[in-house]
Structure 1
């Protein structure tokens, strides 16, 4: 028999042969995923079990609606749903402590985390053991004790924010609360982490383009999950083509931050931490470089990614909660009057530090309700159990399976929170009720991968909300719930209207 060369075989193939082969391949994949895959027994849409394009449609075409589609899927299929070929989602508050526990070994799911393109940061580190050692280097810097020692820097920036409100009151000009609070959050993050002032609060428009970019980057994350080339392309193109405003401002910020990080590392060299140097006087770069991390985790590119990643994580989540709280407090005179009375009876917000404000029950209830409706993330947080199978009711979930829950959906669960979309601080005033709900109130997540900046966020909320409420009145201009309520999963919460809450400001005597 004459030898047949591979080139001859391929030359005889037509597009019809290729089409048939591809169709056969995809049919085999679909049949395997539907009937033979380890997750085939779990309920859910057949199309979601076959392909991630199901999720892609709700993410990319409908702009971050898969989280809310999952909410509907649970109503149809029950508390455990197969939401993709490889992933499960659970909707049962009783299961939260099982999934987000400090016991055992849990990886993050690469599907969502890889889309950010920052694999060296703690928040996007997949492997359990690597995350554990990297996180240990950050914990002391963001501890409650260290944040408390540095609350004067929070107060200083809060006073600068109040000065801008005073100026707006004198000039009778509208102020954009969304942009103002975003500028405060960015300046505080940069000040706390790098000990630098990038002047967002000094800019006439609060550097609004940067604010819009931070919100818009969530859309890039949605695209990159399904098309890895999307985010680099978006950041390189002008905003007129991408729809993401202010990418130039964001690139400038990243460049400046990286230079500041490099300068700090160059000054440090290989020195060890002086025994008499408190963390309050140094930067996050110092904390990483002086830690017991191995040399590979102190490499320049790793440190740059880590520090810029932590910086960016604090830009929008706390600002979103603050603007939601202020919108609902000032929209309800009864809540506003009660909050002001509590502050007045305590001696006034300006006389109290963070620990004193934490003792005020109604202020705490207001902040809890704000974080319930606007938690740090709008997306699910999947975990991959490495050392155990998970049991939920009659279901055995095999180890290695990505399983997620969504804080935003749990915080809207009417079984826990009657009339869940209503801003109602009364849910939290009674201490017994608060203790009952605390297990499922997780705006900063829980377990080994909870938000590293949680204490800084709490300090911001207590100090800023208390002082603004006591010192200013706001009359909103064409503002509504669409300016504050989450309606999209852009990793962070996405609102229907990103133009911001405009208001007329007046000083209170």
Structure 2
């Protein structure tokens, strides 16, 4: 006799028993037969967390994990949430992100900064509160509110990354939706789709709907040449789809991380002691704020560099785990935020203290905002250039209520902003702060 036939809901009973057996089988497999079953650690974590990963608490292990001279692959489960498969081809230097190429971009970055400072002057006249958002493409600086929809849509797309890891087919589905359906689902996401679509078209045939300023400088290099300019790259690495995906990730990832780092920096520079030291160094290195200071000169300013390192440590541009696979070795990982907030290496880790980097330059072993090794962020040099130039240009001519320099144009004052707005409480690939945040908001006086 069927043992389930006597039950009130036989189909439900069968489903419940099947689910129970599935869970028991999964638990047994994770505890005794998974690739990491022999490693020490809490069994509850092995049951509830990813059975293919091991977390190493010691940040010093990063030197072994993110090793430049050994082969390291990214885990497909991570890369597929962006729609980009990992490559078996050897990693080669990308000419567009070389030091020389980045320094040729200085006039382009400075042109955007000039326009940003003009916007600061506008806010100084109106007294309007602004949500600080920098590093926007397509002349978003000219928009009244800096076109926050792009930021919001990018953050939404980043937050979906965790879901995409489990269901990568959703990316294909979303790309197949007509624009009018995307608008009904979410207006910001529809705008992000439109921005992504523009990356696939010839920029001459579909220009931005925002007119460039008369002083806009031409780009001395073409980002689309990142892979195609490497003659030995396999054909798949130079395909249209691959280049489009690279471009999309470069735009979104480069915008969110750099803007967030600058926002965190401006919040913490409300500290009069740190700002006074920074402005003194900038005034000495840049006697005339209206002249161009070479990027190489700014990179040699010790306190400015320390401020940037401390800001990158606290902002943690990528908060998700950056797993690495060693095809011929057995290795583990540590997530970025755990290392940068480890009190063993960074005493009082949540405090903003640039001096720690001057006292111990070797702290960079434990702070890897751009990852490290053969798979580190290829845009690291460009991100540093943007941050160095932005902080130098802004804080050379602006101060705070407590700290002002000779010839300053005005002061930047935090408005309706507190520590919650820069404290990481969640992970959406990029950091999340409390839900009620309005961002780092400043008033220009």
Which TM bucket (shorter chain)? 0.7 to 0.9
More helix by share: 1
State the distance in 2 between where 1:491 and 1:87 align.
17
In structure 2, the residue matched to 1:252 is 194
Are 1:428 and 2:357 counterparts? yes
**Residue correspondence of structure 1 range 317-328 to structure 2 within 5 A:** 317-328=257-268
Match for residue 340 of structure 2 among 391, 411, 416: 411
Show CA shifts across 1:430-470 (max 9, x none).
3xx11x21222221111001110111111111110111112
Maintained 8 Å contact 1:215/1:494? no
CA deviation after TM superposition for structure 1 residue 314, in Å:
0.5
Show CA shifts across 1:13-34 (max 9, x none).
9665565455434422321221
State the distance in 1 between where 2:188 and 2:162 align.
18
In structure 2, the residue matched to 1:504 is 443
Maintained 8 Å contact 1:102/1:447? yes
CA deviation after TM superposition for structure 1 residue 45, in Å:
4.5
In structure 2, the residue matched to 1:339 is 278
CA deviation after TM superposition for structure 1 residue 229, in Å:
5.0
Maintained 8 Å contact 2:317/2:430? yes
Q: Secondary structure at the match of 2:439?
A: coil
In structure 2, the residue matched to 1:487 is 425
Maintained 8 Å contact 2:426/2:433? yes
Match for residue 396 of structure 2 among 470, 473, 492: 470
**Residue correspondence of structure 1 range 33-52 to structure 2 within 5 A:** 33-50=30-47
In structure 2, the residue matched to 1:151 is 106
State the distance in 1 between where 2:183 and 2:172 align.
13
How many residues align? The count is 405
Maintained 8 Å contact 2:157/2:189? no
State the distance in 1 between where 2:24 and 2:61 align.
35
In structure 2, the residue matched to 1:396 is none
State the distance in 2 between where 1:21 and 1:336 align.
63
**Residue correspondence of structure 1 range 76-95 to structure 2 within 5 A:** 83-95=49-61
Distance 1:429 1:323, change over 3 A: same
Q: Secondary structure at the match of 2:142?
A: coil
Q: Secondary structure at the match of 1:381?
A: coil
Are 1:358 and 2:299 counterparts? yes
CA deviation after TM superposition for structure 1 residue 84, in Å:
1.9
TM-score by length of 1: 0.74
Match for residue 139 of structure 1 among 94, 99, 109: 94
State the distance in 2 between where 1:319 and 1:373 align.
14
State the distance in 2 between where 1:263 and 1:388 align.
49
TM-score by length of 2: 0.84
Are 1:186 and 2:115 counterparts? no
Are 1:458 and 2:384 counterparts? yes
RMSD: 2.6
State the distance in 1 between where 2:107 and 2:182 align.
39
Maintained 8 Å contact 2:75/2:325? yes
In structure 2, the residue matched to 1:65 is none
Q: Secondary structure at the match of 2:368?
A: coil
State the distance in 2 between where 1:211 and 1:389 align.
39
Q: Secondary structure at the match of 1:448?
A: helix
CA deviation after TM superposition for structure 1 residue 489, in Å:
1.2
Match for residue 385 of structure 1 among 326, 332, 351: 326
Are 1:217 and 2:157 counterparts? yes
Maintained 8 Å contact 1:101/1:447? yes
State the distance in 1 between where 2:304 and 2:429 align.
28
Distance 1:250 1:203, change over 3 A: same
Maintained 8 Å contact 1:186/1:314? no
Distance 1:454 1:166, change over 3 A: same
Distance 1:24 1:495, change over 3 A: closer
Show CA shifts across 1:415-442 (max 9, x none).
0000000011111223xx11x2122222
Are 1:444 and 2:370 counterparts? yes
Match for residue 104 of structure 1 among 70, 81, 86: 70
Maintained 8 Å contact 2:108/2:219? no
CA deviation after TM superposition for structure 1 residue 280, in Å:
6.6
Maintained 8 Å contact 2:97/2:378? yes
Are 1:316 and 2:242 counterparts? no
Greater CA drift, 155-164 or 165-174: 165-174
Show CA shifts across 1:184-208 (max 9, x none).
x132xxxxxxxxxx22111111111
